[in-house]
Amino acid sequence: MGFIKKILFPTDFSSTSECAMKYALEFAKRFDAELEILHVLFDESQVVAFYLPQVTFQNLDKELEEAARKQFDEFINKFPELSETKHTTKILKGTPFLEIINEARETNADVIIIGTHGRTGLEHVLFGSTAEKVVRKAPCPVFTVRHKDQQFRMP
């Protein structure tokens, strides 16, 4: 049963990601697979340049990366069983679904395990769905995980 050798796990550090991480860890354990844990920082320059063209945020980039690294470490520390799993961590910058898809392609991921918030209606229109875009465009199978307390609401 070695057809899954590389698992890509994107996280936004949410409780939904924590729930999905449990699946990623179990997959990695069962298949003796390498787990890549990925966080994508949204490229703030796209937003800042559009909304605040007169403002330069030279330190903003560094501060966002430092904050993300701290959150990443806190997230990882919630899973002591990671010490028994082959894993790497990575932070990228860009549009989350595009970076996830590119990373899966570049690393030859066999599966992507991703949490989904299950947004519907206006919330879905405003925030979109990274997981949905990844499912549609990924170069490999995608396993989506919804938080156990999340209730389905008809749109």
Instruction: Give the domain extent around 88.
Output: 6-146
Count, in order, helices (H) and strands (E) of the chain: 6, 5
Is residue 78 within 8 A of residue 18, CB to CB? The reply is yes
Segment 18-28, tens digit of pLDDT: 999 999 999 99
DSSP type of residue 83: G
| Residue-level pLDDT at 81 | 93
Number of domains making up the chain: 1
Q: Select the more confidently predicted residue: 138 or 61.
A: 138
Alpha-carbon gap, residue 96 to 131, rounded angstroms? 9
Segment 32-63, tens digit of pLDDT: 999 999 999 877 555 444 444 444 556 667 77
Segment 85-136, tens digit of pLDDT: 999 999 999 999 999 999 999 999 999 999 987 554 444 444 458 888 999 9
Alpha-carbon gap, residue 131 to 141, rounded angstroms? 12
Is residue 71 within 8 A of residue 64, CB to CB? The reply is no
Rg (CA), the chain: 16
Task: Please report, for the domain that includes residue 52, its CATH number.
Answer: 3.40.50.620
Asked if residue 92 belongs to a domain, the reply is yes
Asked if residue 153 belongs to a domain, the reply is no
